[in-house]
């Protein structure tokens, strides 16, 4: 599965669970961790968990192994490591606090409008 297919599956899964303010940062040449960061948030612990679970389940359905998922029980910042794509699912307040978009401000934003409903 290509990195773009994984990214599309993750974005679609987040959107299906009504994740808010979904953005994708192109990390190629900026970070050695991943090629793309998907960043989104939910308004409650349950929604954060639902978004994270959906991303994990959709990746696995497509035959991609999820390397690691951290923070699920706390539901404040769930990190889903899909290899070339790392999804960050925040609780609303945590997203504003950590502000990854500003931290990685030199990373270009990917156009994901085609993947969103």
Q: Which residues of 56-79 are buried (b: 16+ CB within 10 A; e: fewer)?
A: bebbeeeebeeeebebeeebbbbb
Check residue 75 and give its pLDDT.
95
Tokens of 53: 């679970």
Tokens of 23: 């953005």
Q: Taking 70 as the threshold, does the pLDDT of residue 23 lie above it?
A: yes
Is the distance from CB of 36 to CB of 84 less than 8 angstroms? yes
Is the distance from CB of 45 to CB of 53 less than 8 angstroms? no
Is the distance from CB of 77 to CB of 88 less than 8 angstroms? yes
Biggest CA–CA distance in the chain, Å, is 35
Tokens of 77: 């910042």
Which domains, and CATH codes, for the chain?
3-103 (3.30.460.10)
For 100, the enclosing helix (H) or strand (E) is helix 100-103
pLDDT in tens, 58-111: 999 988 889 999 999 999 999 999 999 999 999 999 999 999 888 888 888 888
């Amino acid at each position: 599965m290509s990195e773009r297919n994984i990214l599309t599956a993750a974005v679609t899964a987040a959107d299906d669970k009504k994740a808010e303010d979904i953005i994708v940062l192109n990390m190629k040449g900026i970070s050695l961790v991943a090629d793309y960061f998907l960043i989104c948030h939910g308004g409650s612990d349950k929604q954060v968990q639902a978004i994270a679970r959906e991303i994990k389940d959709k990746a696995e359905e497509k035959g991609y192994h999820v390397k690691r998922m951290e923070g699920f029980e706390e539901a404040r910042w769930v990190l889903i490591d899909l290899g070339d794509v790392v999804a960050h699912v925040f609780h609303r307040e945590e997203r504003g606090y950590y502000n990854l978009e500003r931290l990685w401000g030199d990373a270009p934003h990917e156009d994901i409008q085609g993947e969103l409903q």
